[in-house]
Chain A
Amino acid sequence: MTDVHAQPTGSTGPSSTGPSTNSGAGRVLVAVYGIFALAATARASVQLLTRFDEAPLAYLLSAVAGLVYIIATITLARGTRASRRLALVAIIIELVGVVTVGTLSVLDPEAFPRATVWSIYGIGYGFVPLVLPILGLAWLWHTRPVND
């Protein structure tokens, strides 16, 4: 695959800030994050509103997952320097979240009687929730500013 983010050689001016997170393949990443923002938030809302008492921990974590996906989607889509930092924080929380919830849901199913987007490393979503933060971090690295 050709690198669409290659900077013109010997360029001056704005290009020294490096490629944006919302360009090229980044647009696909934002699209996938957007879908997970929608899915996780909608799922958490339904769970919290209709049967919060069944599994409060799992449902609150669903809501956290939804919020993290929303922040990652918006910050990656904006693609500014400030938003990159926020995206990094959100994606690290996402990675920690999916690994922690995934592991806990395997080791202690009692704590997660109801599925969340991160249960068993996101098995209900084709394990995309496990791969997504890794792709997100790789993309932030790939698009890192040249002089930071």
Chain B
Amino acid sequence: MIDALAYSVVALAGVAVIWGILTAIVNKPPGKAQLLYAAGLEAVTVVQSIIAAAKIIGGFRPVELATTIGYLIGIVILIPIAWFWANVERNRFSGVVLAVAALAVFAMTLRLLMLWTPAG
């Protein structure tokens, strides 16, 4: 994992949370820009998980290896599922669904940063 990249994910996810809540407040479904933004967040998250996986394969051992791997996998599936779920029925709640998923990505990435310390 690269700290700068992880903090980028945290910041991008934070904006996605606020954006999702804002569209709900103004009672609109997420627009094209918001959906593209969510796709961008997903792309950065995937890159981060791939880099982290490469480092683990390369020999890095975080304290909680199994938990870290679980987080690295879990974090990349949230946005795609939320995207699908938000688009089946498009209304103000679609934005909240995206916000909930982004909040999970936000929290999980912060947790990953804490987990990412060498064992031993």
B39 CB → nearest A CB, Å: 18
User: Which residue on B lies nearest to A22, using beta carbons?
Assistant: B89
Q: Is B66 an interface residue (CB 8 A)?
A: yes
CB under 8 Å from chain A, chain B span 91-108: 91, 93-94, 96-97, 100-101, 104
In the bound complex, residues from chain B placing their C-beta under 8 Å from that of A28 are: 93, 96-97, 100
In the complex the two chains form, what is the Cα distance from A30 to B101 in whole Å? Answer: 11
What are 9 of the A-B contact pairs (CB < 8 Å)?
Answer: A4-B91, A24-B93, A25-B93, A25-B96, A27-B96, A28-B96, A30-B85, A34-B81, A43-B70
In the bound complex, residues from chain B placing their C-beta under 8 Å from that of A32 are: 100
In the bound complex, residues from chain A placing their C-beta under 8 Å from that of B100 are: 28, 31-32, 35
Neighbour of B85 across the interface among A23, A31, A38, A50, CB < 8 A: A31
- Secondary structure class of chain B's binding surface, majority of residues: helix
In the bound complex, residues from chain B placing their C-beta under 8 Å from that of A34 are: 81, 85
In the complex the two chains form, what is the Cα distance from A113 to B40 in whole Å? Answer: 40
Q: Is A138 an interface residue (CB 8 A)?
A: no
Q: Is B35 an interface residue (CB 8 A)?
A: no
B20 CB → nearest A CB, Å: 10
User: Which residue on A lies nearest to B24, using beta carbons?
Assistant: A28
In the complex the two chains form, what is the Cα distance from A27 to B96 in whole Å? Answer: 9
B30 CB → nearest A CB, Å: 13
Once the chains bind, are B74 and A27 in contact (CB under 8 Å)? no
In the bound complex, residues from chain B placing their C-beta under 8 Å from that of A25 are: 93, 96
Q: A32-B100, A42-B70, A49-B66 are in contact. Are A27 and B78 (CB under 8 A)?
A: no
Interface size on B, residues (CB 8 A): 20
In the bound complex, residues from chain B placing their C-beta under 8 Å from that of A46 are: 66-67, 70
A86 CB → nearest B CB, Å: 20
Once the chains bind, are A23 and B89 in contact (CB under 8 Å)? yes
B62 CB → nearest A CB, Å: 13
Once the chains bind, are A35 and B93 in contact (CB under 8 Å)? no
In the complex the two chains form, what is the Cα distance from A50 to B70 in whole Å? Answer: 13
In the bound complex, residues from chain A placing their C-beta under 8 Å from that of B10 are: none
**A-B pairs with the 4 shortest C-beta distances?**
A46-B66, A31-B97, A28-B96, A42-B70
Q: A31-B85, A50-B66 are in contact. Are A42 and B93 (CB under 8 A)?
A: no
A89 CB → nearest B CB, Å: 24
In the bound complex, residues from chain B placing their C-beta under 8 Å from that of A30 are: 85
Neighbour of B86 across the interface among A27, A38, A45, A50, CB < 8 A: A27
